[in-house]
Amino acid sequence: MTQRQRRVRDRTERGRRIVAAARELAEAEGWDAVTTRRLAGLIEYSQPVLYSHFPGGKDAIMAAAALEGFTELAATLVAARPGGLGGVAGSYLAFAEAKPGLYDAMFTLASELRFAEDDTPEVMKACFAELLAVVEPTAREEEAGALTEVFWSTLHGLATLDRGRRLSPAHRDERLALVVDRFGARGD
């Protein structure tokens, strides 16, 4: 029976390798370069093996990568919490810039993931909760949720537009300061 355990362990390990290979390749050459054939080659198995791990095919693999991304983002934001709103904002943008492929999977290409429904994964809620934690002190109680959504949108927009070379590199630091200025503690 221990052999059976080893087999399922090998199997889950192989599943991890698939997602890891996909992430590496996506980070290096973009998700368009992540084809099932190249992925199969990287893990040194044939194509159909991928579908035994992820019946949803490539989309499911990307969704798995996206989930990992949310887990890592949540951890990043937790670590940045002591830095306050500015620290969290900076960490969020640094995350998106350091792992653009992963960030794409999480937001741009997540045709598989569903949010705001009942089946929203816990890790996604955790990310939102971390943003809420630094926004809440600056907001009236009843507007905290909506304000966190706006704050999040600002960070996401900055990350996305910056990646598309649509923002001036010269204003980089100034933008972050302005985010803190506009979303930080108010005078009233």
Partner DNA sequence: TCCAGTTTTCTAGCATCGCTAGGATTGCTA
Partner DNA sequence: TAGCAATCCTAGCGATGCTAGAAAACTGGA
Residue 127: which H helix or E strand, with range?
Answer: helix 122-135
Q: Does 17 bind DNA (CB under 7 A)?
A: no
First to last CA, the chain: 67
Among 24, 29, 30, 46, binds DNA (CB under 7 A): 46
Does the protein bind DNA through residue 170 (CB under 7 A)? Answer: no
The option from a second copy, DNA, none interacting with 51 (CB < 5 to 8 A, set by class) reads DNA
3-state DSSP of 37-68: HHHHHHHCCCHHHHHHHCCCCHHHHHHHHHHH
> For residues 70 and 123, is the Cβ–Cβ distance under 8 A?
yes
Stretch that binds a second copy, among 19-27, 38-46, 61-69, 162-170 (CB under 8 A): 162-170
Is there a contact between 81 and 88 (Cβ–Cβ < 8 Å)? yes
Q: Mark the segment that binds a second copy (CB under 8 A) among 14-22, 67-75, 76-84, 154-162.
A: 154-162
Return residues touching a second copy (CB under 8 A): 107-108, 110, 114-117, 143, 145-147, 149-150, 152-158, 160-161, 164-169, 171, 174-175, 178-179, 182-183, 187
